Structures are given as structure tokens and as C-alpha cells.
Amino acid sequence: MIRKDMYIDGKWRPARSGRQREIINPYDGSVIAQVAEGAREDAVDAICAARRAFDTGPWPQTPAVERARLLFRLADLVERENSDLARLESLDTGKTVTESRWDMDDIAGIFRYFAGLADKNAGEQIASPNPDTTSRLVHEPVGVCGQISPWNYPLLQASWKMAPALAAGCTIVMKPSEITPLTTIRITELAEEAGFPPGVVNTVLGPGIDVGAELAENHAVDLISFTGGIATGKTIMRAAAGNVKKVALELGGKNPNIIFDDADFDLAVDYALNGVFFHAGQICSAGARVMVQAGIYERFVEALKARIQKIVLGSGFTDGVQMGPLISADHLAKVERYVAIAQKEGASLVLGGKRPDDPALKNGFFYLPTLFTDCTNDMRIVQEEVFGPVISVETFATESEVVERANSTIYGLSAGFWTRDPDRMARVSRALRFGTVWINDFNVYFVQAPWGGYRQSGLGRELGRMGLEEYTEVKHVYQNHATQPINWFGI
């Protein structure tokens, strides 16, 4: 049974308005749940609860080792529920259940990692320039954190925020995407079972322009952490200026995957496909911009074509299915618009470019894996995030040319390149200005390594030690052990 309420101050409750929203299965358009549709007033209730829990509740006095114990317990519960959580995530997003299981494994690991860091962030003594004094740095929780997550990796993205915030000692108000709230609701139940005190973990449901905007604007919120699109990120940044709250942004990407002619050809083809068609291309780090050196361009396109034609679409719960649907009818329409723009701008459509003919898929939001060639740097399909199963292939002549072109984007989340030349590995990894650079691999991330973007791909870093630091303030405590009179004024 899927719970439908919001969780505020340790209690489950409907929206004050009583409104509800239908949650749709993208595979066939059926309704899988009805959940509370909150509004600003519900967000305010949750913020007040988190504020009380931070200012006067037991949480600030809870020792770091106890916070760690609760997070370890939550990791165990995620592991216990792995199959059910994965099933729920696939129902809600359409992705294959195998991918969802990998997500759940990662999520348990994320809670363990930050549980392990919770009691290792006590601060340090620094050198004071004055005799008979001590100076120490103390890491303290930022306070009340609003956490807004997207629909593509609903629980994974929520966990990237939830785990470090709780490890640092903050209280949180989570807001999942209104179209994929189910696993965030479920992990809130697990947090309750793990024993987090009332008000420490709150989950509000509802639309971004209402509930999300309240989290970004409200002066009782100390930090807003957001993962989603660039336009929303900019709105949130402006809203956060009202009380100069801290802002952490994980925005989109248009990630180049560069294939030099000395690369291991077959591996590069294999990873180019994985780089973009995973979760139907709805990944911020999708390698949708493939750049192939001139000498191997034709052969590379042929190899991509041969394998793309064999991609199996269908239900994420069916064995052998490799790609599910897009998330929604609106998103499908956006991908269709980009494909039309690419054709108008002169890119050559080699494969796909339409919905599948299979009548079994007609009620879902499916789109065929799509391949464009003859793409150039100025095309919107090359510069903008499509967030769908669409590859654009460009060719290049030299290393310096491709680096310059790869960097000429407003995004800077991730990039990958393929070569066997160790000197080139050093040169190109230094020259590419992206938050993550993969050499002879693509789309790898893990909790120990920080994740975030250069340029307009974001602000700050999630995961790794830096992920915990986002949720802490640093206090300098200076103590004079032998205070002497100054005798300056009025003597």
C-alpha cells in the first residue's frame, strides 16, 4: 500500500486544502497512486517544524555518533527494502528495474558513507599569532535545509541531499518532484522507523512553483539545495537572495564524449551507447554530444547505427528490455520539439526521430533511440540539453579544435574522452573545464567523489567530503588565556 500523505513534525497528514494529485505510470499512462497535493501553507508548516526541531528540539544536542547510528540504521532499512523500493521507482519513472536496483544499492552506500563521516568532522586547532591564546575551528550544522529533487533519479537525488544534511546535524524539508514522489515518501517512512526525532525529517509534496518556491523564499530556511533544470535553478537563486540563504545547485549538462582515432574502437562504441541511452537519456550526465575524430567518423557512425537498431523498448519489468519510456507526455513533446529543431537546422536524421509503431507501447511515453549526424557546434541539438534518447554526432580534426569546441557551452557538468595516448590523457583532462572528466569510461560516479558542475551546471558539490561541508558552517572560536589591559581609550 503506497502512503499518500506528507510527513510534517513527525506526523502523516494530508494537504491543508485536501487536494490530491494522480501519479502516472509512464509505461502505460495508468494511475498508480493518489498523493497529497500540498501548497505554500503546507511548506510553511514543515519549515516551522524543522525550525523548532533545530532551535529547541533534542537534535542539536544529539551527539554525532548517535546521528551516525540512525543513518546506519536507515542504510540497513534501505537494504532490507531494496526490491520494493526498486519496484516503486520503476513504476514511477519507467526505468528498468535492474537500473532501479543499482540505484538502491548506491543509496544504502550513500547513507553508510555519510554515517561514517558524521563523527569525523569535529574541527581543528589552528595556529594563533598571539601568545597565551587558542584558536579552533568548529564545524556546525547550517540549520534548516530545503531540499528539492528532480524526477529522473528521484530517490538517488534525494539521498545525495538527505544523508549529508542529517550527518551534519541539520533538519530537513524534502520536496520530491511532484510527478515522482513515491520513493521519497517511502524513505520518509523508513526514517521514521529508524527513529529520527519529530521535525528532523519532513517531506512536503506538491508543485515546484508553490511548495518549492516557498522553500526557496522562506526566511526561516538557512540553505536551499536544488537539483533540476537551469531555468528553475536561476529562479531559486533569486528567491534565496531574500535572506541570503546558502544555495547549492545541481543543474543540467550537455556532456561531450570525445572519441580520438587511437581509442579502443569497440569499447568507445559500447560506452557511447551506454552514455546516452541509459534511462532513455534522462540523465544530467548523459553523453549525448558525441565527437568523433575524422579518420574513424564514418565507421563509428555505422557501428552506432548497427547497435541502436537492436535496442529493446518496453516495460522496465520485462526481462530483456533495455530502455523504458520517457517520464511524461510533456517531456515527450519537448524531445519531439528538439528533434524537429535539429532537422530544421540541418542535422541528418539517421535513425529514430519518432515514437515507436509497436501498438503495445502506444499508451506509454516511448520515443525511439535517435541518431543525428553532421551536427555542428552552433546547432541547438548540440548546445542544449534534450534529456532524451537522442545522440548528436559531430566530427573534428585536431585535439585543440575538439577541446575548444567541447568547452564552448554554458554547461560544465561532465565530459569523457577515449584515447590510448598517455600524454593526451594528461593534456585533455587538464584542458576540459567540467566538474567530472572521465578517461576511457563514461557516466561513472560514486559517493566518495564530489559531483557538481562548472559554469551554469551548478554551484557547490554533492557527495564526497565536500558534500558534507555544504551542510556545515565553520565557526572560529578564539580564547585568550591571559588577557592583559589595553589602556587605549580615555586614559
**Residue 444 binds ligand NAD (CB under 6 A):** no
Distance CA(461)–CA(435), nearest Å, equals 9
**In this complex, which beta carbon is closest to ligand NAD, that of residue 235 or of residue 257?**
235
**Residue 250 binds ligand NAD (CB under 6 A):** yes
**Residue 173 binds ligand NAD (CB under 6 A):** no
Interface segment toward ligand NAD; rule CB under 6 A; list 63-71, 152-160, 195-203, 288-296 = 152-160
Sites for ligand NAD among residues 456-485 (CB under 6 A): 458
**In this complex, which beta carbon is closest to ligand NAD, that of residue 121 or of residue 152?**
152
Which residue of the set 250, 462, 469, 470 is catalytic?
250
Contacts of 52 (CB under 8 A, 6+ apart): 9, 199
**Residue 151 binds ligand NAD (CB under 6 A):** yes
CB-based contact 185:212 (threshold 8 Å): no
Based on the residue annotation, tell me whether 284 is a catalytic residue of this protein.
Answer: yes
Smallest distance from the beta carbon of 152 to ligand NAD, in angstroms?
5
Distance CA(146)–CA(247), nearest Å, equals 10
**Residue 212 binds ligand NAD (CB under 6 A):** yes
Minimal CA–CA distance to 181: which of 388, 5, 326?
A: 5
Query: Quick one: the chain helix, strand, coil %, rounded to 5?
Result: 40, 20, 40
List the one residue from 8, 15, 47, 148 that touches ligand NAD (CB under 6 A). 148
CB-based contact 257:416 (threshold 8 Å): yes
- Check residue 451 and report its DSSP letter: B
Sites for ligand NAD among residues 404-423 (CB under 6 A): 413
Smallest distance from the beta carbon of 33 to ligand NAD, in angstroms?
17
- Each residue of 463-474: b (16+ CB within 10 Å) or e? bbeebbbbbbee
Interface segment toward ligand NAD; rule CB under 6 A; list 12-20, 172-180, 294-302, 303-311 = 172-180
Q: Where are the beta strands (DSSP E) in 123-282?
A: 124-126, 133-141, 144-148, 171-175, 201-203, 223-227, 246-250, 256-259
Beta bridge partners of 323: 313
DSSP secondary structure, 325-389, as one string: --S-HHHHHHHHHHHHHHHHTTPEEEE--S----GGGTTTT----EEEES--TTSHHHHS---SS
List the one residue from 109, 154, 208, 364 that touches ligand NAD (CB under 6 A). 208
List the one residue from 54, 387, 418, 454 that touches ligand NAD (CB under 6 A). 387
Quick note: the x/- pattern for ligand NAD over 300-339, rule CB under 6 A, is: ----------------------------------------
The x, y and z cell numbers of residue 307, run together, are 547497435
**In this complex, which beta carbon is closest to ligand NAD, that of residue 253 or of residue 352?**
253
**In this complex, which beta carbon is closest to ligand NAD, that of residue 169 or of residue 176?**
176
Smallest distance from the beta carbon of 333 to ligand NAD, in angstroms?
13
Distance CA(305)–CA(321), nearest Å, equals 18
**Residue 225 binds ligand NAD (CB under 6 A):** no
Distance CA(443)–CA(445), nearest Å, equals 6
The x, y and z cell numbers of residue 485, run together, are 589591559
Distance CA(82)–CA(102), nearest Å, equals 9
Based on the residue annotation, tell me whether 375 is a catalytic residue of this protein.
Answer: no
List the one residue from 45, 178, 399, 470 that touches ligand NAD (CB under 6 A). 178
Burial grade of 479 (CB within 10 A; 0-12, 13-18, 19 or more): exposed
Q: Which backbone phi and psi does 264 adopt, to 5 degrees?
A: -70, 105
Return the residue nearest ligand NAD (CB atom): 208
**Residue 99 binds ligand NAD (CB under 6 A):** no
Which residue of the set 48, 145, 284, 375 is catalytic?
284
**In this complex, which beta carbon is closest to ligand NAD, that of residue 64 or of residue 286?**
286
Smallest distance from the beta carbon of 254 to ligand NAD, in angstroms?
9
Interface segment toward ligand NAD; rule CB under 6 A; list 26-34, 163-171, 212-220, 300-308 = 212-220
Q: Which backbone phi and psi does 92 adopt, to 5 degrees?
A: -80, -35
State the number of binding residues for ligand NAD (CB under 6 A): 32
List the one residue from 228, 281, 314, 388 that touches ligand NAD (CB under 6 A). 228
Kindly list the catalytic residues.
250, 284
Interface residues with ligand NAD (CB under 6 A) are 148-153, 157, 175, 177-178, 207-209, 212-213, 216, 227-229, 232, 235-236, 250-253, 284, 385, 387, 413, 453, 458
